[in-house]
């Protein structure tokens, strides 16, 4: 059944209030002569300012889900909406622009540019987006101050501790004021004390920015401190 234009517009307006929506996502891979289903009719909606923990066993499809949500991989069917905009039919160049402006990424390893300072690592993504250098440097300084790294702005990654590097990576992920933060084991490479401190900084930044965060973690203590927990069971997204 085809939706009437006013119904379609109402749906778009409603989705526009949500930073990220996954609707009816299906993804499978070839396995020998058969097919391995990873996601089957998977659905998820993130709300502004919300932290959602993704906890699931290795091999359950967490990385695939994050890649699809981050527009790094296309589903076989279903739709990904970012800020109400359907992304399935977008050209690759438009998806790249969407990732650059609307999505932020944090990984287990910081992936900072080693030859640049902490400040420059935050400035560069903003310059790529087209911001003025002075404006980019001002925002970068504010973010580093917020993460209690103002006194480390001129240091290169090799001169920072593991926890400091990851806090810089988190700040870089939100430098372009995205709608959504996607994190894959962002504290998995840190000791328990540092992990808790970095997670506190991440939560504070998400709350202050009003963005939505989907965070994959094996740390059930950290997962319990988020607003919701979801898992992957029978190839679907299940609320815990």
Regarding predicted confidence, which is higher, 146 or 15? Answer: 146
Mean pLDDT, the chain, integer:
88
Residue 7 pLDDT grade (very low, low, confident, very high; cuts 50, 70, 90): very low
Q: What is the DSSP letter of 151?
A: G
Rounded Cα distance between 23 and 78, Å, is 6
CATH class of 5-239: alpha beta
**Helix (H, G, I), strand (E, B), or coil: what is residue 237?**
strand
Backbone angles phi, psi at 126, to 5 degrees: -70, -35
Mean pLDDT of 67-94: 94
Indicate if the pLDDT at residue 106 is higher than 70. yes
Token pair of 31, please? 């396995």
Q: Taking 50 as the threshold, does the pLDDT of residue 54 lie above it? A: yes
For the segment 110-142, what is each residue's pLDDT rounded down to a tens digit?
789 999 999 999 999 999 988 999 999 999 999
pLDDT value of residue 1:
41
Place of tokens 């287990």: 108
Per-residue model confidence (pLDDT) at position 94? 93
The pLDDT of residue 5 is 52
Q: Are strands 236-239 and 228-233 parallel, antiparallel or unpaired?
A: antiparallel
* Closest listed residue to residue 105, CA positions, set 147, 59, 54, 71: 71
**Which pair of structure tokens corresponds to residue 123?**
């400035």
CA–CA separation, 149 and 205 (whole Å)? 13
Q: Which two tokens stand for residue 8?
A: 């379609």
């Amino acid at each position: 059944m085809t939706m009437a234009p006013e119904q379609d517009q109402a749906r778009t307006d409603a989705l526009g209030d949500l930073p990220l929506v996954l609707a009816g996502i299906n993804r499978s891979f070839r396995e020998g002569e058969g097919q391995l289903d990873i996601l089957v009719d998977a659905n998820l909606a993130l709300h502004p300012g919300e932290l959602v923990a993704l906890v699931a066993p290795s091999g359950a499809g967490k990385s695939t889900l994050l890649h699809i949500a981050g527009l790094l991989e296309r589903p076989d069917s279903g739709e990904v909406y970012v800020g109400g905009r359907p992304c399935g039919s977008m050209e690759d160049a438009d998806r790249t622009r969407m990732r650059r402006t609307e999505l932020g990424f944090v990984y287990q390893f910081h992936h900072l540019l080693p030859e640049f300072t902490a400040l420059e690592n935050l400035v560069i993504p903003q310059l790529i987006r087209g911001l003025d250098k002075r404006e980019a440097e001002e925002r970068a300084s504010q973010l580093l101050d917020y993460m209690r790294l103002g006194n480390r702005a001129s240091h290169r990654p090799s001169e920072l501790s593991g926890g400091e590097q990851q806090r810089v990576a988190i700040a870089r992920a939100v430098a372009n004021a995205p709608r959504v933060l996607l994190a894959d084991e962002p504290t998995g490479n840190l000791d328990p004390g540092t992990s808790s401190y970095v997670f506190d900084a991440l939560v504070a930044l998400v709350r202050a920015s009003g963005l939505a965060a989907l965070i994959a973690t094996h740390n059930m203590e950290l997962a319990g401190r988020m607003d919701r927990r979801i898992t992957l069971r029978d190839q679907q997204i299940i609320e815990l």
